[in-house]
Amino acid sequence: MTSLVIAEHDNASIKGATLNTVTAALQCGGEVHVLVAGSNAGAAAAAAAQIAGVAKVLHADGDALAHGLAENVTAQVLAVASSYSHILFAATATGKNVAPRVAAKLDVGQISDITKVDSPDTFERPIYAGNAIATVQSGDATKVVTVRTTNFDPAAATGGSAAVESVAAVAASAQSAYVGSEIAKNDRPELTAAKIIVSGGRALGSAEKFNEVLTPLADKLGAAIGASRAAVDAGYAANDLQVGQTGKIVAPQLYIAAGISGAIQHLAGMKDSKVIVAINKDPEAPIFSVADYGLEADLFTAVPELIAAL
């Protein structure tokens, strides 16, 4: 029994979510190998070899793998899949894009967003926006899973000394081509890895106010900025800031929810945070039912006061 973790990386380094996925893979039992599929990704492969607990790194390098296109990455995973009992991806935009494609090609079911490994074939996963936890058992020969990273501690990034083995890169699919990307540049910590998150809801009222009120608080705390679906829907915040059932799942040390009512879909994305602070002027807001510290106040006065007091 051997598990294969599909690394998330930028060719130069390994992304944090990979470390949590390695931990889940180790809990499945047996050896853990990591596949680094990229273009000029030698540095990322070397970094993967350092991860504690990893026995072997497979490094596939080619132009087809430069942009992580699902068609090509799937072909690369399939090229090595037959040796593995488990194939694990982080449950990120990247992992969710590829894992089901791999599973279908192998004619196996896929298990999404596992929060716990009960045994090599049995896993726990949230359903209905986290309002229920299902314990599921796979009857398939290969288990293809995506891992909810907030539920597994990261493996140590150093201390390992796995061998790196080169594998032949697949040819590019003619069906799909990368055109370009727009990545928002900022110095903030990544939402899913941040220790502190400052999150805003519809009560902010506009994109200008959203930035004007929350940015100084996030700066002061070195925090990432998040948003409720209502705020994203209203155009106050970018889609990739959305915390909730269909957005990012986060579990920081401190989550400050400002002007967020606390719909179940939002709570699904943040209720595993260590400490939750809610600032809302509606005393009946459901967010108070999960908040460790609730402040019933107008956020437009409370947030500036908070910045001043920190």
* Subset of 178-217 contacting another protein (CB under 8 A): 178-184, 190, 196
For the CB of residue 96, give the shortest distance to another protein in the complex, in Å: 5
Q: Toward another protein, which CB reaches closer, 3 or 112?
A: 112
Q: Determine the residue type at 109.
A: G
DSSP class of 306: H
> Burial, 78: exposed, middle or buried (Cβ in 10 Å; 0-12, 13-18, 19+)?
middle
- Per-residue tokens: 218: 């996030």
Q: Which long-range contacts (CB under 8 A, 24 or more apart) does 125-128 make?
A: 126/268
Largest CA distance in the chain: 60
Q: State which of positions 256-295 bind another protein (CB under 8 A).
A: 264-265, 271, 274-277, 288-295
CB of 3 to another protein, least distance (A): 18
Q: How far is CA 152 from the centre of its chain?
A: 11
Contacting another protein (CB under 8 A), which of 46, 53, 209, 240? 240
Interaction of residue 70 with another protein, rule CB under 8 A: yes
Contact 228, 215 (CB under 8 A): no
Stretch that binds another protein, among 38-46, 53-61, 65-73, 159-167 (CB under 8 A): 65-73
Site residues for another protein, 73-132, by CB under 8 A, read 74, 92-94, 96-105, 107-113, 122, 126-132
| Least distance between another protein and beta carbon 126 (Å) | 7
Task: Pick the closer one to another protein by CB: 186 or 206.
Answer: 186
Q: Are 224 and 199 in contact (CB under 8 A)?
A: no
